[in-house]
Structure formats: structure tokens, C-alpha cells
């Protein structure tokens, strides 16, 4: 199953906030022998969120969606997820209890008894309105849960909440996928060579080793570094080792300067 990531928020696209979710999710997955297949960043535009979720729901992928599940006017993700599946929004009973418990706790901490029927606290319950049939994703930070629908997991935009929630989803629902496909990556730095001159070698390696992907990351260099290419192979370990040996041998035959990474 492919794993995708959707990051929602105008603040990311405008540059007011720097996204932290992408590198962290890559890290969380890698620690479990998994990898991200795709990622998208969307603004707070309901129609675009709905269209994206319709496509991702249809894909069958495991998808993590960060942001937009609060109760302010720019939070559209809960409604968009329901619209994408043609389902009504309903108040989740356990989600409601969690929010009310949080309100009472906050009141106790401030020394003021909480009024659960105040307009402000009734509005907070909107954070427990999810598409019909949604399950909860527990939030250890403040107990205001996210939600799950059809292999999609919706968490807040706040990293302190989102990241442990994503870890919980992985460890609770997908431990059977961990480290199922061992992978190896090996690379060299090639100096002062044209990428086009190395392309035939890259194509030949992928043809010879079907369980391996070749990658090429060129750099024009700077005041401290010469022009170079990070050239490597990754994939099934045995084939990767063989492809790496072949790569080094061919680079030597071409009399190209290179150094292992």
C-alpha cells in the first residue's frame, strides 16, 4: 500500500509558516521501514480539498492529512472529508465527551467552573463533528481527537499533536507492514562529469537489476565544492549490492573520478 501525505493551510503556501510535517513524516516512516510515495500541500480552499480527497480516497492509499480540523472559519477539512465521500457530518459521541472533559479540566486549572452550555463551549464541540462512521484518532496532547476514514487519518496542523497521533496510527494499525521490504541505498560522488554521459550507465543498471532504482542528484558546485553528481542505487539489498559494484566498475572503466559516500 502506498502512503501519502496531505498538508493543509494557507499559511504554508503564503510562507507565514514553514512546513515541518513532510520531513518528520518521512522520518517516522523510515524508522519503521516504510516510505512516503507522494505528498501535496493545499490551501484553505474547500473545493480543492474536496477534489483532492475524492482522488485520494479512490486510490486505496494510506493517507495522513495534517491541518484544518479545528473550529474556526478557515478550518474546512472535516466538512471536505464528508463531502468527498457524500456523507453527513455528525457529532461523534466519544469525541464530544473528550472535548467536554477537556473543558472541565481547563476550568479546574483556572479555578473557574466550566459552563458546558456556554456559546463558546458549544462551538468547541464542532471539533467532534466528523463524517458519519468516522473513528477517533487519539490526541495525547489535549484529548481533542482527530478522525479516521477509509485508511485516511486526519490530525491537527500543530506538530506537537500531529506527530504522536501519526505514530499511534502507524503502530496501532500498520505494524504488520513494518520492515517487510528491506532496502539498501549506496552512492558515490562523481566529479566533473556530465549527467548525460552517465545516463547510458544508469539505464543499463536499471535494466540489469529490476529491483533497483538509480538516482542522480547533480550539483553545479560553489566556492567550496567542485561540480559533482551524487550517483547511487537503492532497492532490494542483494541486487543493490551487485548494482553498486557494477556502478563502481563502470565508472572506473570510464576513468571518471568518484568517491564512495
- CATH architecture of the domain 3-177 equals 3-Layer(aba) Sandwich (3.40)
In this prediction, residue 1 carries a pLDDT of: 77
The predicted-structure confidence for 230-247, as pLDDT tens digits, reads as follows 999 999 999 999 999 999
- Domain covering 184-260 assigned CATH 3.30.1370 in the classification: yes
Task: Say how many Å lie between the first and final Cα of the chain, rounded.
Answer: 31
Torsion-angle region of 37 (φ positive above 0: left; ψ -120 to 50: alpha; else: beta): alpha
Pairwise CA distance, residues 199 & 185, whole Å: 19
pTM for this entry: 0.88
Q: For the chain, where do the domains classified as CATH 3.40.980.10 start and end?
A: 3-177
Low-confidence ranges of the chain (pLDDT < 70): none
In this prediction, residue 117 carries a pLDDT of: 94
Q: For the chain, where do the domains classified as CATH 3.30.1370 start and end?
A: 184-260
Pairwise CA distance, residues 24 & 21, whole Å: 5
What beta strand segments (E) does the chain contain? Answer: 3-8, 38-42, 62-66, 89-91, 129-131, 135-137, 146-149, 152-155, 184-191, 212-219, 228-235, 258-260
Amino acid at each position: 500500500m502506498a502512503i501519502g501525505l496531505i498538508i493543509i493551510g494557507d499559511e504554508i503556501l503564503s510562507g507565514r509558516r514553514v512546513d515541518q510535517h513532510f520531513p518528520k513524516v518521512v522520518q517516522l516512516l523510515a524508522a519503521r521501514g516504510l516510505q512516503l510515495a507522494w505528498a501535496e500541500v493545499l490551501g484553505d480552499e474547500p473545493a480543492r480539498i474536496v477534489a483532492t480527497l475524492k482522488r485520494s480516497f479512490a486510490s486505496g492509499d494510506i493517507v495522513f492529512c495534517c491541518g484544518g480540523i479545528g473550529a474556526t472559519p478557515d478550518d474546512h477539512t472535516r466538512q471536505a472529508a464528508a463531502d468527498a465521500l457524500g456523507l453527513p457530518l455528525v457529532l461523534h459521541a466519544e469525541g464530544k465527551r473528550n472535548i467536554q472533559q477537556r473543558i472541565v479540566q481547563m476550568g479546574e486549572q483556572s479555578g473557574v467552573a466550566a459552563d458546558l452550555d456556554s456559546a463558546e463551549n458549544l462551538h468547541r464541540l464542532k471539533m467532534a463533528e466528523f463524517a458519519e462512521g468516522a473513528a477517533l484518532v487519539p490526541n495525547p496532547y489535549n484529548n481533542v481527537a482527530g478522525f479516521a476514514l477509509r485508511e485516511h487519518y486526519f490530525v491537527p496542523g500543530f506538530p506537537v499533536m500531529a506527530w504522536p497521533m501519526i505514530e499511534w496510527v502507524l503502530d496501532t494499525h500498520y505494524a504488520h507492514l513494518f520492515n517487510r521490504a528491506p532496502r539498501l541505498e549506496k552512492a558515490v560522488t562523481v566529479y566533473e562529469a556530465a549527467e548525460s554521459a552517465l545516463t547510458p550507465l544508469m539505464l543499463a543498471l536499471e535494466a540489469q537489476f529490476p529491483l533497483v532504482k538509480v538516482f542522480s542528484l547533480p550539483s553545479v558546485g560553489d566556492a567550496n565544492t567542485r561540480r559533482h553528481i551524487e550517483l547511487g542505487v537503492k532497492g532490494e539489498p542483494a541486487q543493490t549490492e551487485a548494482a553498486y559494484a557494477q556502478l563502481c566498475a563502470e565508472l572506473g572503466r570510464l576513468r571518471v573520478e568518484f568517491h564512495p559516500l
